[in-house]
Amino acid sequence: MTNVVFVAPYFAETTLRFVSAAAGLPNVRLGLISQDPEEKLPDSLRRKLAGHYRVEAGLSRSAIEKATRAMKRSLGSVDRLLGTLEQLQVPLGHVRDELAISGMGADAARNFRDKALMKTVLTRHGLPCARHRLVRDPREAFAFVQEVGFPLVAKPPAGAGAQSTFRLDDDRALSECLASMPPSDSRPTLLEEFIVGEEHSFDSVVLGGKLTWYSINDYYPAPIEVLRHPWIQWSVVSPIELDHPRYAAIREVAGPALSALGLENGLSHMEWFARTDGSVAISEVAARPPGAQFATLLSYAHDFDFYSAWAQLMVEDVFEPPPRRYAVGAAYLRGQGTGKRVTAIRGLEEAQRDVGDLVVEVKLPELGQSPSGTYEGEGFVILRHEDTEVVKRGLKRVIEQIYVELA
């Protein structure tokens, strides 16, 4: 019997899918650490748990360590310590190191979490990434501008999912950014050159230090552009032709990049750019499952349960997905206008008529729902087909036809 502890500070829907997958593995006893109370769990999941420990601060290293020690006393051992949130990876690494639990340690976790350190490591290994500078005062910021010019991207070193990420096109924009989040020794700001090209992601599995599986997503458009323009509804396509020559450059550097950052066993999510000259640049990498329904997309692409496959990977170091059968994609439905609530959803009948045979999953915005303010919007539509171009055309129709009205 393998004793596994899962740290899930908050019971978000996607998080609970991963927790349930871990709890459903054969010969696994699962303990859960959370900030949310156990009573908020679905009864079906609560019955699967071997134990629960509630903490006051779900992202705190010391709280997680205390709770894990308690779980160890209760279960007899802790063989694996899991968590899916980006913000958890370094605390989990520290606790694994402290309690001699198998898995990624703090040093490797920090390489993935600290985006400035990540780019320093990649550059040191001769791997392509954006030129960057961790600035602690305005003088350093403007000195970096003199080296690389505009446009730039500003982000926190420990950001995730394009949160607090901004494109800066001139001195005025840079000054406003520095005024709104003043850099300091304790809270520096990461500046990067803005790379012109197509943005993609590269999800992959490493076992024994070797890249053993991967998937690619094409973004339409880049998430940072979606955040700059509230009217844009984002879409993502995961093609069936993963061996296409257009992806050759990222296939060549992804494995060495993950090795340089210290991933021995696990799943990673890499954001990367394809420049107009055919070269690539790694934007950032996270040692965790991808967000934005990507795990669900992978389930539909391979016709299997990716959530359970991730749990098996993290607990047993085994990942054996069936061959990829479909191209898949998601259109993210985003409220239009400056209102505070969703008041209408238009174009559903037209979209159903045109692409209904491609739809495998839908989450529609709810009337009265507040806008999320993120590129994921308020809902999504997932399409699947054996032909990538059919999926791309279908997503374009969804984006053009469905209109989420805010008032």
What pLDDT digit, counting tens, does each position of 59-72 carry? Answer: 999 999 999 999 99
pLDDT value for 160: 55
The model's pLDDT over 201-226, given as tens digits with 9 standing for 90+, comes to 999 999 999 999 999 999 999 888 88
Q: What is the pTM of this model?
A: 0.91
Give the chain's domains with CATH numbers: 2-103 (3.40.50.20), 131-193 (3.30.1490.20), 197-406 (3.30.470.20)
Contacts (Cβ under 8 Å, ≥6 apart) of 140:
133, 183
Q: How many CB atoms lie within 10 A of CB 57?
A: 11
pLDDT value for 230: 81
Contact 229, 190 (CB under 8 A): no
pLDDT value for 51: 96
pLDDT value for 162: 53
pLDDT value for 20: 98
Contacts (Cβ under 8 Å, ≥6 apart) of 67:
33, 53, 55
Q: Which stretches of the chain score pLDDT less than 70?
A: 158-164
Strand ranges, E, within 163-321: 166-168, 189-193, 197-207, 210-220, 235-238, 266-275, 280-286
Q: Closest Cα partner for 357 from 327, 386, 333, 383?
A: 383
